[in-house]
Amino acid sequence: MQELKDIISGTIRVATIYSIGLHDLPPYIKKFMKLYPPVNIHVEYRHANQVYEDVFSNVVDLGLVAYPAKDAKLEIVPLRKDPLVLICHPQHPFARQKSIKFKSLAGQKIIGFEPDIPTRKALDKILKEHGVDPRHAMEFDNIETVKRAVEIDAGIAIVPEGTVIQEVAKQTLAAVQLEDGSYYRPIAAIYKKNKVLSPAMKQFIALLKEAA
């Protein structure tokens, strides 16, 4: 009935991984709420596996993930691709370089994500393709803790460029481009196949796609 009346209202429940929720999502929520004030957006910060669980069990309407996993029960809406960069302490020798080859990372202490996180799996694969056996000094479950560890010079890390804009501007971290090809972290919205999308959800997904 709402759709027949073309009313954009109600609540959109979103589950997102930390990095997307903290760095990618806020400007789009701000824009959407300005366009559609009657709509409430409820955001849950979750680990990747929990985002999928929440979508499958209808706890949320929409999930936001990196490296989306194909599933016959899911609709996947590709959004943007965030370039990957190496980050290090500003006094680290790598900070003086404009770009770096993967082979230079051999033997370095790497600050990484926990093994079951999709971004960690993708990064391990990339490093092994270039003959680097990653030596993880620390492992964390979210991007913010990874960055804090690099800021105290506990090691280096490879992260999406969009997540370190503020730290690079403040010079608490240095970002170095990766050679040997272009590498990106794909971001996507997911929702359960055959789910009836409310007018508000359709508009929110359209806004995210438009931004992509």
Q: What are the DSSP calls for 18-86, one per residue?
A: HHIIIIIHHHHHHHHHHH-TTEEEEEEE--HHHHHHHHHTTS-SEEEEESPPP-TTEEEEEEEEEEEEE
How far apart, in whole angstroms, are the C-alpha atoms of residue 73 and residue 51? 14
CATH 3.40.190.10 intervals, the chain: 2-80+187-211, 82-185
- Model-level pTM? 0.88
Looking at residue 201, its pLDDT comes to 93
CATH architecture of 82-185: 3-Layer(aba) Sandwich (3.40)
Parallel, antiparallel or unpaired: strands 157-160 and 39-45: unpaired
Among 3.40.50.300, 3.40.640.10, 3.40.50.920, 3.40.190.10, name the CATH number for the domain at 2-80+187-211. 3.40.190.10
How far apart, in whole angstroms, are the C-alpha atoms of residue 206 and residue 105? 40
How far apart, in whole angstroms, are the C-alpha atoms of residue 32 and residue 1? 22
Looking at residue 16, its pLDDT comes to 96
Two tokens, residue 182: 């272009």
Averaged over successive runs of 10 residues, the pLDDT of the chain (212 residues) comes to 59 94 91 91 94 95 95 94 96 95 93 93 93 91 95 96 95 94 93 91 92 64
Looking at residue 212, its pLDDT comes to 62
Looking at residue 4, its pLDDT comes to 44
Closest to 60 measured CA to CA, from 70, 79, 71, 46:
46
E strand residue ranges, 69-182:
74-88, 99-100, 109-113, 135-140, 157-160, 174-178
The answer to whether 174 touches 87, Cβ cutoff 8 Å, is: yes
